[in-house]
Chains A and B, each alone.
Chain A
């Protein structure tokens, strides 16, 4: 599913060169639940942005579903993000002016799904995260945990092959965090590929496989 070899990303800040990713290599197979763990500043988010086609690497190769991502145009990448990938961010990244429902609907609009079908799928997605009752609420009217559920619903509404979550529990208390992780387990059991980024060992352990990242270098850890 994901095939990354010798991926490097270098930021130049002033005179300094920061190797956010340094020859990172990893494979993720379909229907896996993989966690990527590492301390703060180790390059986790950088890696996820590249996997999610939001950013491009400076060197190395990245194949998603056998397709070489480097050679795609911006519009093709947008289509890939839209159809193949579902994002869950640490800070939720919901659009504040839109209600929960409308936030979830947005990726479907970009896919040009018909109105009636959109309504059905949005309802379904909100049901899966247990938030049907809050469909009309604006993000500001929801708790952090509820906002993250909306974000998850938005990620899964398009039935993406890959769900990327960057510290989805980072802004939540541990109880709510557990509930969110439970949703990911459920999604995994339904056949989704999940890549979950965290700096929390307990959460990382719940995945079927864990990849360690430190100073931009990846190592596989068996749990």
Chain B
């Protein structure tokens, strides 16, 4: 084995130019694979970080089984006093037909409490947000977003105007600005949204009851999300008889999940394209190995005459193909590393760092090995099958 390896190195070394050109195919393939995948995963990581910076300053809790002890607004207020928990805003949603001045449309109606504003990081364009007294008195006020204001009323500056939701009159207390780069606007840009006091929504929508089934939680000023998650989980476990199937605490936004699946598809796609270039490199190896075998027919004859059997010859040429592949692979990985470092310095202002993706390096190594075997096998077998006497007399 070691001897076969040394022999392979020597015979590759005896024709450096040719070996280098053959390796180039593999090197390019490896670089394409490693760099593309590392870049996508690097970009994905930094974008996901950015997204989770935005979205993960809150937890979302949904209750699926209340075990006869439903959570009410009072429970929520009680929990808000816990030191590890910041603010909690229960919310429920429904859809309703909104109308004003003869125009009407479908709006998504959220019923919630004042805390919702800070937790979700909403921005008022004008007017005010919901107040505690609104919730306590089931007042008929609503806060709408700019899209709703423009759609229904025709202009943004509409605080004090009245709209009807499913025929019930509500006064517009405030208008939220549709912030261009906010997370909510990304998901629901242009759609019409209205926020009501939690208690008012329950009156509006028959299907909803006093029981809170979803709420969002923020961290206290000097607490971390992990601490809140732990504290929240403990509170819920205590309430629901240690049954962790009764509720779900999630810190990942929908956006993040969607992005994850998009980028992983992208990675697979790019990786696939790069893999094709590696296969092309493999064909180059097969080609050069066939030439080598023909050139060295006489050598094969000599080796067979002094006792090399089929397996030995097969192993020798297969080893050569694999060694070429692996050297190409290692060089390719180093080159990729260099390229990524360069990219890092170039885009250092973007706050993205790209590093070699360990997984793809492993895949590249395994793939190169496989290519060496697959594309080396045919030429090596051709060499091994030669009859000693014919090989010995080849070309005089």
Give A contacts to B, CB under 8 Å. 49, 52, 54-55, 74-75, 78-79, 81-83, 87, 93-95, 97, 106-107, 109-111, 154, 158
- Interface assignment of B29: CB less than 8 Å from any CB of chain A: no
For residue B303, which residues in chain A have a CB less than 8 angstroms away from its CB?
95, 106, 110
Minimum C-beta distance from B306 to chain A (A): 5
Q: Is the CB of A79 within 8 A of B309?
A: yes
Q: Is the CB of A52 within 8 A of B307?
A: no
Q: Is the CB of B389 within 8 A of A106?
A: no
Q: Is the CB of B312 within 8 A of A110?
A: yes
12 residue pairs A–B, Cβ–Cβ below 8 Å: A55-B388, A75-B311, A78-B304, A79-B307, A81-B305, A81-B306, A81-B388, A82-B307, A93-B298, A93-B305, A106-B303, A110-B308
Q: Is the CB of B305 within 8 A of A87?
A: yes
Contact with A along B10-50 (1 / 0, CB 8 A): 11001000000000000000000000000000000000000
Q: Is the CB of A154 within 8 A of B11?
A: no
- Interface assignment of B302: CB less than 8 Å from any CB of chain A: yes
Q: Is the CB of A74 within 8 A of B310?
A: yes
- Interface assignment of B69: CB less than 8 Å from any CB of chain A: no
- The count of chain B contact residues (Cβ–Cβ below 8 Å) is 22
B57-93 contacts to A, CB under 8 A, are none
Can you name the residue of chain B whose Cβ is closest to the Cβ of A154?
A: B306
Please classify the interface of chain B as helix (H, G, I), strand (E, B), loop, or mixed, using the class held by over half of its residues.
helix
- Interface assignment of B299: CB less than 8 Å from any CB of chain A: yes
Can you name the residue of chain A whose Cβ is closest to the Cβ of B11?
A: A97
Q: How far is the CA of A154 from the CA of B308 in the complex (A)?
A: 14
Q: Is the CB of A78 within 8 A of B14?
A: no
Q: How far is the CA of A154 from the CA of B303 in the complex (A)?
A: 12
Q: Is the CB of B309 within 8 A of A97?
A: no
- Interface assignment of B392: CB less than 8 Å from any CB of chain A: yes
Q: How far is the CA of A93 from the CA of B310 in the complex (A)?
A: 19
For residue B387, which residues in chain A have a CB less than 8 angstroms away from its CB?
55
Q: A78-B310, A81-B306 are in contact. List 8 more A-B contacts (CB 8 A).
A: A54-B305, A54-B392, A55-B388, A78-B309, A81-B305, A93-B392, A97-B10, A111-B307
Q: Is the CB of B388 within 8 A of A54?
A: yes
Minimum C-beta distance from A173 to chain B (A): 22
- Interface assignment of B350: CB less than 8 Å from any CB of chain A: no
For residue A78, which residues in chain B have a CB less than 8 angstroms away from its CB?
304, 307-310
For residue B311, which residues in chain A have a CB less than 8 angstroms away from its CB?
75
Asked if A106 meets B305 with Cβ closer than 8 Å, knowing A54-B389, A55-B389, the reply is no
- Interface assignment of B187: CB less than 8 Å from any CB of chain A: no
Q: How far is the CA of A78 from the CA of B308 in the complex (A)?
A: 6
Minimum C-beta distance from A30 to chain B (A): 21
